[in-house]
Amino acid sequence: MTSRIGIIGGGFAGIMTAVNLIKKTNTPLQLYIIGEKSSFARGTAYESYLDKHILNVSTEKMSAFPDQPSHFLDWVMARSSFQDLPKEIVAKSFLSRNLYGDYLCELWKESIKIAKEKEIDVLELVDTVIKLTNLSVGIELSFMNSPSIIVDKCIMATGNQIPKNPSIPNFSFFKSSNYFQNPWKKECVSNVDDSLPILIIGNGLTMVDTILGLQDNKFKGEIYSISPNGFNILPHRHTGLIYHAHLEEIHDKMSLKELTRVIHKHVKIVRQFGISAEPIIDALRPRTQGIWRNLTAAEKQFFMSRLRHLFGVARHRIPLHIYDKIQKLRIDGLLHIQSGKIVDITETGGCIDVRYFDKKQRKTQVLKVSRVINCTGPETDFSKLENNFLGQCIQDGIFYQDELKLGIQTNVETFKVKYKDGVEHSNLFTLGSNLKGELWESTAVNELRHQANAIADIILAEVNLIDDSNK
């Protein structure tokens, strides 16, 4: 019997798993790829309402294939609009996320052609999976609208969830048409009026995207951003500078305290030369998963509560020309970055009162705004999201979350999720953001391309074994 493989999620992780399965398989497959939107391949990140939304990783590092590092750069250079530009500059540049989406769509189209030649049946299903049931004959996937299907192997490539709502007593505000829980939708920056400021909760990369969106929609009013620390987002300042001296002193088994001591020491060294911490944090990237996996639960907790935001500022940076725009808004008094905690939000007749505790002033302040956009980042505790498929699976005992509720408990060698007793599921896999609890760094193309490649190998090895045993 042909093996039936279901992939939940049509973003980078889901599509690249399918691309690798199609490329590598020698046996016929029935492949279901399930997405909530008909535009497969782009996912949330690479289908933006604005072409000015750019990648936060340079062109040379965005190949979809781990064994072909210049694949995306070569694809870009082959396009007529780039052919006359110097390759070294394009390699270091930050291109439009929509362009990257075009790249993924082209890869997916080519793979569908290859699938036809190899007689692999690929079915794209546009629907939301709402329930997963273990049956003796496979895994049943139930949908919001379509009839259910049964697959032999299922890969959950569900990606980034929307942000959770702020913890305020007035829940009714979340139903307001002036509150936007999903910051990646065009509506949150359309039809804005300048008579009152806008509040953005959070001050990371999504805040920057939202500001660009508001500006593109000719919003001329003031913007407030509130986040716990009010850290200033940083530009890429030391492009091309590589610093590795600290790596010799760092090993996976060291405590978080020892690690921070080594990092502090090297930050002090580079500061003497006018260089900030970012190259030190960048160099840690290949080691972060190993370091994270060896931290104790208490150390992970400490990192999350005390160091995560600092680490995030050094890790998630923006290109200089975008940074300049943000700084200009601040200088012109149009962008105010506050550190604090929202206490409550109420709305009367289109005017929203945001009460927040201002950390600097040490008192509660009230802001009057016309809309609130939630840019606090993807939520990883699935119980905090309404009607959430992964939350439903946890309730049904299919898998469970780590103590910090960062992801799904999974064996990261096999990508198989675990039941609460630690036993691995035999046919249920996951990758990407769902592995954040296990690996910490498991969100960007850099990690996902390796995972999509590896998961395809694992599944095909198992499928071939099953097919052989059926002969």
Footprint on this chain of ligand FAD (rule: CB under 6 A):
8-14, 34-37, 43-45, 55-57, 128-129, 157-160, 184, 389, 432-433, 443-446, 448
CB of 110 to ligand FAD, least distance (A): 18
CB of 15 to ligand FAD, least distance (A): 7
- Cβ proximity to ligand FAD: between 316 and 336 the closer is 316
CB of 303 to ligand FAD, least distance (A): 20
- Cβ proximity to ligand FAD: between 98 and 339 the closer is 98
CB of 156 to ligand FAD, least distance (A): 8
CB of 12 to ligand FAD, least distance (A): 4
- Cβ proximity to ligand FAD: between 111 and 443 the closer is 443
- Cβ proximity to ligand FAD: between 51 and 194 the closer is 51
CB of 440 to ligand FAD, least distance (A): 14
CB of 446 to ligand FAD, least distance (A): 6
In the chain, the N- to C-terminal Cα span, in Å, equals: 10
Measured CA to CA, the distance from residue 415 to residue 305 in angstroms comes to 28
CB of 382 to ligand FAD, least distance (A): 11
Measured CA to CA, the distance from residue 254 to residue 34 in angstroms comes to 42
- Cβ proximity to ligand FAD: between 35 and 197 the closer is 35
- Cβ proximity to ligand FAD: between 67 and 421 the closer is 67
Dig out the tokens for 77 from the structure. 């250079």
- Cβ proximity to ligand FAD: between 8 and 345 the closer is 8
- Cβ proximity to ligand FAD: between 44 and 427 the closer is 44
- Cβ proximity to ligand FAD: between 176 and 215 the closer is 215
Instruction: List beta partners, residue 122.
Output: 31
CB of 200 to ligand FAD, least distance (A): 14
- Cβ proximity to ligand FAD: between 132 and 372 the closer is 132
Map the chain to HEC letters: CCEEEEEECCCHHHHHHHHHHHHHCCCCEEEEEEECCCCCCCCCCCCCCCCCCECCCCHHHCCCCCCCCCHHHHHHHCCCCCCCCCHHHHHHCCCEHHHHHHHHHHHHHHHHHHHHHCCCEEEEEECCEEEEEEECCEEEEEECCCCCEEECEEEECCCCCCCCCCCCCCHHHHHCCCEECCCCCHHHHCCCCCCCCEEEECCCHHHHHHHHHHHHCCCCCCEEEEECCCCCCCECCCCCCCCCHHHHHCCCCCCHHHHHHHHHHHHHHHHCCCCCCHHHHHHHHHHHHHHHHHCCHHHHHHHHHHHHHHHHHHHCCECHHHHHHHHHHHHCCCEEEEEEEEEEEEEECCEEEEEEEECCCCEEEEEEECEEEECCCCCCCHHHCCCCHHHHHHHCCCCCECCCCCCECEECCCCEEECCCCCEEEEEEECHHHHHHHHCCCCCHHHHHHHHHHHHHHHHHHHHHHHHHHC
Using DSSP's 3-state secondary structure scheme, residue 196 falls into coil
Using DSSP's 3-state secondary structure scheme, residue 270 falls into helix
- Cβ proximity to ligand FAD: between 9 and 340 the closer is 9
CB of 183 to ligand FAD, least distance (A): 8
CB of 10 to ligand FAD, least distance (A): 5
Measured CA to CA, the distance from residue 124 to residue 34 in angstroms comes to 6
